[in-house]
Structure 1
Amino acid sequence: MRNGLLLLTSLFFYAWGEPKNVLLLIGSCVLNWGIALAISRWRRYGRLLLVLDCAANLGVLFVFKYLGFAVTNLKAVLGDSFLPQVDIALPIGISFFTFQALSYVIDVYRDTVRVQKNPFYVALYIALFPQLVAGPIVRYSTVAEEIRNRVHSWELLSEGACRFVQGLAKKLLLANTFAVVADNIYSLTEAGHQLVKIPVTLAWLGSFAYTLQIFFDFSGYSDMAIGLGKMFGFHFEENFNYPYISKSVSEFWRRWHISLSTWFREYVYFPLGGSRVENKDKMVRNLLVVWLLTGLWHGANWTFVFWGLFNFVCLLLERLFLFEKWKAHPVWKHLYTMLMVNFGWVLFRSESFYQFQEYLGNMFGLNGNGFFSGQALMFLQEYAVYWVIGILLCLPAAGWLKKKLASLPKLSKTSFAVVYPVGMAGLFFVCVTYLVRSGYNPFIYFNF
């Protein structure tokens, strides 16, 4: 009954935003449950069935997400061809639930998880609403036991509620605030330097704002999903591990969007041979395939493809030159990493190569755009508290705080036990007030 109620609630949640596409979600659940069951019963046809499942899932994903992009590029190459223009609305979260469903079927084929005969349990795994829209991508093995036997407690409920509020605050108070700065500056860039001069300091500030926005946007949603999962008795794995303290781009991608990186590693990179190949050319090929797919996964746009290629080049050079083993001072390695990540986010945020070119030119003063900006100073002063809090929350302060709390006397611990939930309740009230009053609520990963 608990699972039935949770499944119905999840489908209702999805239908609230996508009434028509809820049938697509149900179809994905039925298809992947049926093929996984067939694979477990007829092992001799397992590979064929797996190929059919991948073709069906990726085919649907291609139609909804990439068909319009493909047709547009074909028309550009062939001229005014007979192909009609395709404009299909992207179903919410299709990339996430497609990858999650694929991971279940592949794991059944590999015999690393037991097939689930109950279709409603598979549907609950794929459609569970906390992580349905924007991840994290949950592997079936991590929740299989909790779908059937999970423990509810006041402690888990309170921990989950607090985690949810923290994520909500990240999204509404921090990500949305940094979005105001980033969107203003990027929109000015689109006009071109001939019409609007964006000084160097303003361009750099806009890139930093987006770097913080994208982190708090998605890590905030991940926190909300993990918190909601705990409230229902599920334990989802962490999706972010302070990525902005990394000292190499390779380390950054071990800390950023961990569930997506793990998915590509487990289901694309390793099956291709990974890095344990005799011919290093194959390792380069494997890395290239993964990052081309990673770029495309984020969106049907050439800027995303080249963003994937940019990360591929960074990772390849770090491997070839054994960058992580260099004995350079950690500060310099961290500075290099943040510069590469920041440049990558500029390309990621740019809607076209023209905007990317303009933005880079502004950052390095190549457009006759000057250096100092009073508007940049205004943004720094206006949102000073947000900049400070945002930067501090990128650091692993939670572990340090726990150690400090453990060393406090009993009376102080008791006081904190009272103050903390009151503070979380107050923060939740602030978030709801902010949500009601503000009509500006961009959600980056909503598009993926």
Structure 2
Amino acid sequence: MNFNFINLQPYTNPQYFVYLMIGLVPIIIGLYHGHRLKIYEVAFSLVFLFLIFDGDKWQQGVNLIIYLLFQLLVSYWYLHYRQNGKNKTWVFYLAVVLAILPLVLVKFQIAFPKAPIPGVLAFLGISYITFKTVQVIMETRDGAIKELDLSTYLRFLLFFPTFSSGPIDRYRRFAKECNVAPKRDQYLADLEIATRNLFQGFLYKFVLGWFFGTYWLPKISKAALIAGAANGGLKFSWWLVAYMYCYSMYLFFDFAGYSLFAVSISNFMGIHTPVNFNKPFISQNIKEFWNRWHMTLSFWFRDYIYMRFTFFAMKKKLFKNPIRLSQAAYLLLFLTMGFWHGLTWYYIVYGLFHAMAIIINDCWLRYKKRHKEQIPSNKFTKWLAIFVTFNIVCFSFLIFSGFLSELWFGWK
């Protein structure tokens, strides 16, 4: 049965929310009365997941099933290995590589479509489910996860509100909430927050995101290309600056709106999915920005790449200087983030740009600490720091957009 006359991709149009809220009514009534309707919640999620992969996207649904079976096999194999008291490092690395392998192959397939890579791997949401499975394997290795309930693990991986683009939850936090109903007072507070986030998401995605991304950005893009062609080799114009700011606002409002929807629907279902954005454009430095922007992703990379590499390098004594160790960890972290976005030059340069920005920021903070009596600190310097950070971030988003490829080389 084909429902493609209704766009049922997650959070893409206001009509989608009508069907979503109708499906949520029994869950809301049940939680209000202190009952979690687990069977209905599973059915509700599966129905909306099925509608995502209906019609010409059915192959992606098959890919998802194959992927889940593979990840369950890897996760439970490694869990069984650890439960037997074994902890060989190479086995842990093998489990992580196997968990990441489908995503790596998909990224290569997108970058090199003619390469002999199986197309059976790709489906909507593969990145964020991979982050969850890798997190579970790593915490199993640490001993933080000693058991994996199959039904809870599947619900965690397939949790509908965050399925396609996050936020990225943690298994242990999710498992504490998904099988019990919150107290009525708590749930009423959750409903209030969920409603506010829902309407704020509408403002962000369907009003501000539409204005910056659909209405204004194409006009500015066209003007920047015309001005760039007229300027010859330099290809700079104030229209390019306008594009940088417009695209940055579109990227924020579109993605923050999506994340607000995911958190809102989670709250309606009695699950406290972590928030993804916390006023990122008031950050006073680039490190603070990454503690406010796409927080669940940046914290995932911090915990499972930056910290893991740092502990490994300290154990193996790869660096004598802790500052050089930190800098190498930043380079690894943001290069990985760049490659995750895609195997194109502007994503990789975007990652390197942020790595260098954080390294320079750390140098400045150390210098500032040594000379705190000579360097003023007041409202003016605070707003100057916010202004500088905002423009650095917007320039990085210009790189990320890929627009420079079109402007410089005519690549679309």
TM-score interval, smaller chain = 0.7 to 0.9
Corresponding residue for 1:96?
Answer: 128
2:355 to 312, 326, 344: 312
Corresponding residue for 1:225?
Answer: 262
Does 1:287 find its partner at 2:317? no
Corresponding residue for 1:162?
Answer: 196
Does 1:215 find its partner at 2:247? no
Cα RMSD of the aligned pairs, angstroms, is: 3.1
Aligned CA distance change for structure 1 residues 239 and 84 (closer, same or farther; 3 Å):
closer
Aligned CA distance change for structure 1 residues 357 and 308 (closer, same or farther; 3 Å):
farther
Deviation at 1:200, TM superposition (A): 4.0
Corresponding residue for 2:397?
Answer: 345
1:64 to 106, 125, 131: 106
Tell me, yes or no, if the aligned pair for 1:189 and 1:196 is still in contact at 8 Å. no
Corresponding residue for 1:446?
Answer: none
Does 1:6 find its partner at 2:71? no
The correspondence of residues 164-313 of structure 1 with structure 2, limited to 5 A, is 164-180=198-214, 181-190=216-225, 193-194=228-229, 200-273=237-310, 278-279=320-321, 280-313=323-356
Tell me, yes or no, if the aligned pair for 1:25 and 1:127 is still in contact at 8 Å. no
Tell me, yes or no, if the aligned pair for 1:32 and 1:53 is still in contact at 8 Å. yes
Deviation at 1:40, TM superposition (A): 3.8
Does 1:41 find its partner at 2:86? no
1:304-336 C-alpha deviation (Å, 9 max, x unpaired): 000000111111111122277554511211111
Corresponding residue for 1:397?
Answer: none
Flag structure 2 segments of 5+ consecutive residues without an equivalent: 1-35, 54-60, 370-374
Tell me, yes or no, if the aligned pair for 2:228 and 2:407 is still in contact at 8 Å. no
Measure, in 1, the Cα distance between the counterparts of 2:393 and 2:74. 36
The correspondence of residues 100-179 of structure 1 with structure 2, limited to 5 A, is 100-116=132-148, 118-151=149-182, 153=184, 155=188, 156-179=190-213
1:244-286 C-alpha deviation (Å, 9 max, x unpaired): 0011111111111111111111111111116986423322211
Aligned CA distance change for structure 1 residues 247 and 114 (closer, same or farther; 3 Å):
same
Give the fraction of aligned pairs with identical amino acids, expressed as a percent: 22
Q: Tell me which moved more, 245-254 or 194-203.
A: 194-203
Corresponding residue for 2:72?
Answer: 30
Measure, in 2, the Cα distance between the counterparts of 1:89 and 1:39. 26
Tell me, yes or no, if the aligned pair for 1:243 and 1:256 is still in contact at 8 Å. yes
Tell me, yes or no, if the aligned pair for 2:107 and 2:340 is still in contact at 8 Å. no
1:195-243 C-alpha deviation (Å, 9 max, x unpaired): 6999844332222111111111111111111111111111122211100
Q: Secondary structure at the match of 2:178?
A: helix
Q: Secondary structure at the match of 1:43?
A: coil
Tell me, yes or no, if the aligned pair for 1:303 and 1:351 is still in contact at 8 Å. no
Q: Tell me which moved more, 277-286 or 257-266.
A: 277-286
Tell me, yes or no, if the aligned pair for 2:398 and 2:404 is still in contact at 8 Å. no
Letter paired with 1:243: P
Measure, in 1, the Cα distance between the counterparts of 2:130 and 2:287. 26
Measure, in 2, the Cα distance between the counterparts of 1:229 and 1:254. 22
Letter paired with 1:142: R
Q: Tell me which moved more, 136-145 or 84-93.
A: 84-93
Deviation at 1:56, TM superposition (A): 1.7
Q: Secondary structure at the match of 2:291?
A: helix
Letter paired with 1:125: F
Deviation at 1:188, TM superposition (A): 4.8
Aligned CA distance change for structure 1 residues 221 and 6 (closer, same or farther; 3 Å):
same
1:116-144 C-alpha deviation (Å, 9 max, x unpaired): 2x211101011101111111111112212
Aligned CA distance change for structure 1 residues 107 and 86 (closer, same or farther; 3 Å):
closer
Aligned CA distance change for structure 1 residues 52 and 89 (closer, same or farther; 3 Å):
closer
Measure, in 2, the Cα distance between the counterparts of 1:306 and 1:56. 27
Tell me, yes or no, if the aligned pair for 1:295 and 1:305 is still in contact at 8 Å. yes
1:397-443 C-alpha deviation (Å, 9 max, x unpaired): xxxxxxxxxxxxxxxxxxxxxxxxxxxxxxxxxxxxxxxxxxxxxxx
Corresponding residue for 2:16?
Answer: none
Tell me, yes or no, if the aligned pair for 2:63 and 2:121 is still in contact at 8 Å. no
Q: Secondary structure at the match of 1:21?
A: helix
Flag structure 1 segments of 5+ consecutive residues without an equivalent: 73-82, 359-448
Deviation at 1:148, TM superposition (A): 2.2
Measure, in 1, the Cα distance between the counterparts of 2:309 and 2:335. 14
TM-score, normalization: structure 2?
0.75
TM-score, normalization: structure 1?
0.70
Measure, in 1, the Cα distance between the counterparts of 2:348 and 2:204. 28
Which structure would you say has the larger RCO, counting Cα contacts within 8 Å and 6 or more residues apart? 1
1:4-59 C-alpha deviation (Å, 9 max, x unpaired): 43334333323322333331453255235423531442231564443232122211
Corresponding residue for 2:384?
Answer: 332
Q: How many residues align?
A: 348
1:53 to 80, 92, 95: 95
